[in-house]
Amino acid sequence: MTTSLAAALTQALDASFPRVAFTMAYGSGVFQQKDHDASASMVDLVFAVDDPLAWHAQNLERNPQHYSVLKYLGAANVAAFQEKFGAGVYYNTLVPLTGKLLGTRLIKYGVVSTQTLCEDLLTWKTLYLSGRMHKPVSILDTSDAIQAASSTNLSHALNYALLCLPEKFSEHDLYMKIAGISYLGDFRMTFGENPKKVRNIVDGNLKSFRELYQHTIQNSPFMSRSLSNGDLLLANSNDLKPSPTRLADSTTKLSPRSSCGALSLRSCSGQVARRASKVSPLLGA
């Protein structure tokens, strides 16, 4: 996302919505995909709020036209619907957002509690928001707790990808594997979705992927760069040689709820795919 678009969105959002703890812009409306015009796409947003009931009550007063017929049941029912169904995210879509710098753009915004967001980032409970945040996103506002959880989420994604890759691989291979995590088990990748979507995401945002994972790669005990070829990455290099126990311990942290890391690679991949497939039919891409 360009600096000017980020500033324009921030100004328009601050003027239009109640205060939030976290704002994320993502998707093809703000990040370039190969052979796609981002300026023609709807802007996808996620707001994390500390108190969904209070936030929806305020937003219903300010923006009742954003909601479906569910608004007639009141803020309590909107918040309950958000918390109890799907991945804990309530979306309003096809909303015109107007600002002095932005002009008018269509947006889709999801509302999630900060607790639900942090839980998904740390444990991959649904892999819905954590999977989106494996890829480059634009953080317009955040908190220390969410920022720390996001850093852990990136480490989990890197460790998972290392389990799936050969000993030697390129940065592009790594980002392809990471970007594909949230699409595992998604039937739309077989029917209806562009089968090259993951490649288009990586190819169109390779620089952003490098910026996102640079720190995580540099600090990973399980990989290093080849001394002879800077574009080549090495897993379990001679300099590092992590023990199998240490590797298992690290990947076990990927999801305390599922002990995914303690399973075989095939079982681990299956768990991730099943989580993604349960959520994706309920929510938009």
Query: Cα separation of 130 and 145, whole Å?
Result: 14
Other CB atoms within a 10 A radius of the CB of residue 89 amount to 26
pTM of the model: 0.80
Is pLDDT of 285 > 90? no
Query: Cα separation of 90 and 45, whole Å?
Result: 11
Q: What is the CA radius of gyration of the chain?
A: 19
Is pLDDT of 208 > 70? yes
- Three-class SS state of 131: helix
Given the DSSP bridges, would you call strands 43-49 and 103-113 parallel, antiparallel or unpaired?
parallel
- Greater confidence (272 vs 217) lies with 217
Q: What is the model's pLDDT at position 122?
A: 98
Tens of pLDDT, residue by residue over 157-167, are: 999 999 999 99
Give the amino acid at 35: D
Q: What is the model's pLDDT at position 274?
A: 54
Is pLDDT of 87 > 70? yes
Is pLDDT of 60 > 90? yes
Backbone phi and psi for residue 138, each to the nearest 5 degrees, phi listed first: -110, 115
Across the chain, mean pLDDT equals 83
Give me the long-range contacts of 146-149 (CB less than 8 A, separation at least 24): 146/21, 146/22, 146/48, 146/114, 146/117, 146/118, 146/121, 149/117, 149/118, 149/121, 149/122
- Give yes or no for a contact between 222 and 159, defined as CB atoms under 8 angstroms apart: yes
Percent of the chain predicted with pLDDT > 70? 76
Tens of pLDDT, residue by residue over 102-154, are: 999 999 999 999 999 999 999 999 999 999 999 999 999 999 999 999 999 99
Range of weakest confidence among 31-35, 75-79, 89-93, 258-262: 258-262
Determine the length of the chain: 285
Tens of pLDDT, residue by residue over 222-247, are: 998 888 887 799 986 444 444 444 44
